[in-house]
């Protein structure tokens, strides 16, 4: 049998064929990606939430960077300069002032945010795009109950520690679609103090409870000892939010953009409002063990 009787494969031809197939696949993938990028068109992105009791309104106006982009992030905000923005209230229009520095930030000053009133937002982008939005500020409300108690906790036999429970409840705000709670807890005094913050988080009902430690513990690197500061006060803030703010917050907490929850004509984002009620509970501890704290509230609505 001679070598001529064997069929010797043409390896160089097979390699060329495989390389050609691979090249075609890569080319098709690149073209598909390019087509997807070309199909996406940035759209106006707006963020503006007004608060009662504050006569300054801030606005962020820009363009989206991707399909799920709706959360204003100052680290990657794609702002737009030259936007003509106005707020309409009771037939009068107030024009936003464009701020120097980062692009896409605007502000209105000396504008009364009246609980129960309606406001309209009008934006005209340099490229001709228009954005429209509307909100009705929730009405004023107040705290209906405030109580601070000390509770002894026994995690295991022979060991007991004390926690402070602050319970609050509030009346309904006409026009509110939800409530958001946040707390600032101060430890120590003017000479040495520490701040702990809770929230913001949504309230499932018109009441809330927070559990606090009577002391704030911190490791002192100089003395190599545990330093403790007694609790001084806790400030509780309740925000009665409109439908726009509620839906936008729920969308953000859920981690997924949903244009149906933004309630803007011509843009993603939010134009909403909130009415704020706040109270401060000040503690006067007896002794140094944090037991038998007593507190009183100083209510304020804005």
DSSP 81-125: SS-EEEEEETTEEEEPEEPSSSTTEEEE-S----TT-EEEEEEE-
Residue with tokens 């009662």: 52
Strand (E) positions, 158-294?
A: 159-170, 178-188, 193-202, 207-212, 215-220, 225-241, 268-283
Mean pLDDT across the stretch 241-253? 89
How much is the pLDDT for 287?
40
Q: Say if CB 65 and CB 42 are below 8 A apart.
A: yes
CA distance 294 to 278: 19
List, in order, residues 6 or more apart from 197 with CB less than 8 Å away: 182, 183, 184, 185
- Residue 37 above 50 pLDDT? no
124 exposure class (CB count in 10 Å sphere: 0-12, 13-18, 19+) = middle
| Of 129-133, 139-143, 283-287, minimum mean pLDDT range | 283-287
CA distance 178 to 252: 15
Pairing of the two strands 268-283 and 44-51? parallel
How much is the pLDDT for 34?
46
- Residue 243 above 50 pLDDT? yes
Q: Say if CB 244 and CB 258 are below 8 A apart.
A: no
- Residue 64 above 70 pLDDT? yes
CA distance 54 to 114: 10
Q: Say if CB 275 and CB 140 are below 8 A apart.
A: yes
pLDDT category at 179 given cuts 50, 70, 90 is very high
How much is the pLDDT for 294?
37
Question: What percent of the chain lies above the pLDDT cut of 70?
Answer: 72
pTM (predicted TM-score): 0.76
How much is the pLDDT for 41?
84
Q: Running DSSP on this structure, what letter comes out for residue 5? A: G
Query: Taken in order 293, 291, 165, 227, is the CA torsion positive or negative?
Result: positive
Pairing of the two strands 130-136 and 92-95? unpaired
235 beta partners: 184, 280
């Amino acid at each position: 049998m001679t070598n001529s009787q064997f069929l010797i494969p043409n390896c160089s031809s097979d390699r060329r064929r495989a390389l050609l197939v691979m090249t075609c696949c890569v080319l098709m993938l690149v073209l598909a990606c390019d087509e997807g990028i070309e199909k996406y068109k940035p759209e106006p992105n707006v963020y503006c939430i007004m608060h009662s009791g504050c006569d300054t309104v801030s606005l962020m106006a820009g363009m989206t960077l991707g399909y799920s982009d709706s959360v204003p992030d100052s680290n990657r905000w794609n702002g737009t300069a030259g936007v003509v923005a106005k707020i309409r209230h009771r037939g009068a229009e107030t024009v936003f002032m464009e701020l120097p520095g980062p692009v896409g930030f605007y502000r209105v000053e000396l504008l009364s945010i009246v609980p129960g009133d309606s406001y309209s937002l009008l934006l005209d982008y340099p490229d001709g795009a228009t954005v429209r939005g509307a909100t009705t500020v929730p009405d004023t409300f107040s705290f209906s109950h405030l109580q601070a108690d000390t509770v002894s906790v026994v995690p295991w036999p022979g060991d007991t520690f004390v926690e402070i429970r602050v319970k609050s409840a509030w009346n309904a705000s006409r026009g509110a679609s939800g409530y958001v709670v946040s707390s600032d807890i101060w430890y120590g005094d003017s000479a040495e103090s520490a701040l702990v913050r809770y929230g913001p988080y949504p309230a499932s009902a018109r009441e809330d409870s927070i559990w606090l430690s009577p002391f704030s513990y911190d490791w002192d690197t100089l003395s190599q000892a545990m330093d403790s500061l007694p609790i001084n006060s806790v400030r509780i803030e309740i925000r009665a939010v409109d439908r726009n703010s509620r839906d936008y917050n729920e969308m953000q907490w859920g981690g997924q953009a949903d244009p149906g929850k933004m309630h803007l004509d011509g843009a993603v984002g939010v134009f909403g409002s909130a009415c704020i009620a706040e109270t401060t509970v000040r503690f006067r501890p007896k002794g140094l063990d944090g037991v038998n704290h007593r507190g009183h509230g100083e209510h304020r609505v804005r």
